[in-house]
């Protein structure tokens, strides 16, 4: 009952990300590369959407366009109802709803962990005391309390990535964009981070778009998986993952989980 209500609620709410005929060409006029053919996509409020596909399918290009790091060649892109691009300029009000996490933590080595996390707040002109309070709360949220004054190089890869997530959450954006955030981590840490991300997703009510090339990670995390195929990049299919949350690592051993993974793997082999 509750689930049905939530689902209908989700469908009724306007999408937080809306792509209309978004297309991307790279390269020179003589040798253009079609990175992404005209794509329509909606991401619902409170949804965890995973972009999955072989390399060269344009999944990172797509994510970086949503994040405003690269401009689409044509099409319209809106974030929580506001256009991200207008007259060739990025719109800062739309950007304020986006937080980005990259494959590398990209922490600044000259800032302490605390200062790295509160860097976005500093850029927005928040006072030092307010920043510190906020940074401590965030560090508690992502589970790295006690490392406030450490340099990034003193932390493990997983902890650095937690700090990067805290940084992206610092200004409370509605949407978190994650580009293979756990791709550089070892398998054990990766499992832990997947559980951690799910916990954050359930407690913070963010919408998340996550790029990965790991099928198991996609199925474990996603509400919906967007499967992209290459040359040119385009949406091949969209799969809804039915498992209830919170999901546990044991879920990965179930037959239903395995069959979704297998189906995706076969399709990936066909298209890549």
Chain residues binding other proteins by CB under 8 A are 67-69, 90, 92, 95-96, 98, 100, 102, 104, 106, 108-111, 119-120, 122-123, 151, 153, 167
Q: Please give the full DSSP string across 170-206, using - where no structure is assigned.
A: TT--SEEEEESTTTTS-HHHHHHHHHHHHHHHHHH--
- The residues that bridge with 177 in the sheet, in sequence order, are 100, 209
Q: Which is nearer to other proteins, 73 or 103 (CB)?
A: 103
DSSP 148: T
| Whether the Cβ atoms of residue 23 and residue 65 lie closer than 8 Å to each other | no
State the nearest-atom distance from the C-beta of 180 to other proteins, in Å.
Answer: 12
Please tell me the distance from the alpha carbon of residue 62 to that of residue 211, in angstroms, as a whole number.
9
| Whether the Cβ atoms of residue 51 and residue 40 lie closer than 8 Å to each other | no
Nearest Cα neighbor of 157 from 181, 178, 175, 126 is 181
| Whether the Cβ atoms of residue 152 and residue 107 lie closer than 8 Å to each other | yes
State the nearest-atom distance from the C-beta of 220 to other proteins, in Å.
Answer: 26
Q: Which is nearer to other proteins, 53 or 99 (CB)?
A: 99
State the nearest-atom distance from the C-beta of 165 to other proteins, in Å.
Answer: 13
Q: Which is nearer to other proteins, 170 or 229 (CB)?
A: 170
Structure tokens given for 107: 């922490």
Region for 180 from its dihedrals, namely left if φ exceeds 0, alpha if ψ lies in -120 to 50, beta otherwise: left
* Residue 212: strand, helix, or coil: strand
Q: Which is nearer to other proteins, 31 or 153 (CB)?
A: 153
Q: Which is nearer to other proteins, 79 or 260 (CB)?
A: 79
State the nearest-atom distance from the C-beta of 63 to other proteins, in Å.
Answer: 11
Please tell me the distance from the alpha carbon of residue 108 to that of residue 113, in angstroms, as a whole number.
9
State the nearest-atom distance from the C-beta of 169 to other proteins, in Å.
Answer: 13
Q: Which is nearer to other proteins, 28 or 92 (CB)?
A: 92
State the nearest-atom distance from the C-beta of 88 to other proteins, in Å.
Answer: 15
| Whether the Cβ atoms of residue 257 and residue 243 lie closer than 8 Å to each other | yes
State the nearest-atom distance from the C-beta of 213 to other proteins, in Å.
Answer: 18
Q: Which is nearer to other proteins, 184 or 195 (CB)?
A: 184
Please tell me the distance from the alpha carbon of residue 213 to that of residue 14, in angstroms, as a whole number.
28
């Amino acid at each position: 009952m509750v689930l049905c209500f939530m689902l209908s609620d989700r469908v009724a709410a306007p999408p937080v990300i809306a792509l209309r005929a978004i297309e991307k060409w790279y390269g020179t006029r003589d040798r253009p590369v079609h990175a992404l053919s005209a794509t329509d996509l909606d991401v619902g409020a409170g949804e965890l959407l995973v972009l999955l596909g072989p390399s060269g399918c344009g999944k990172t290009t797509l994510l970086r366009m949503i994040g405003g790091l690269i401009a689409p060649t044509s099409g319209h892109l809106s974030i929580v109802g506001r256009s991200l691009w207008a007259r060739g300029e990025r719109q800062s009000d739309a950007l304020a709803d986006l937080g980005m996490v990259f494959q590398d933590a990209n922490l600044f080595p000259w800032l302490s962990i605390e200062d790295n996390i509160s860097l976005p707040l500093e850029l927005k002109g928040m006072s030092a005391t307010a920043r510190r309070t906020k940074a401590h709360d965030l560090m508690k949220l992502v589970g790295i309390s006690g490392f406030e004054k450490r340099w990034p190089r003193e932390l493990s890869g997983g902890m650095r990535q937690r700090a990067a997530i805290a940084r992206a959450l610092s200004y409370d954006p509605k949407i978190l964009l994650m580009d293979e955030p756990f791709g550089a981590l070892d398998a054990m840490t990766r499992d832990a981070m997947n559980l951690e991300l799910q916990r954050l997703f359930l407690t913070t009510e963010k919408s998340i778009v996550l790029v990965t090339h790991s099928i198991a990670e996609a199925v474990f995390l996603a509400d919906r998986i967007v499967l992209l195929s290459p040359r040119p990049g385009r949406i091949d299919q969209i799969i809804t993952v039915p498992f209830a949350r919170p999901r546990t690592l044991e879920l990965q051993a179930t037959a239903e989980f395995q069959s979704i993974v297998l189906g995706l793997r076969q399709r990936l082999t066909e298209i890549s």
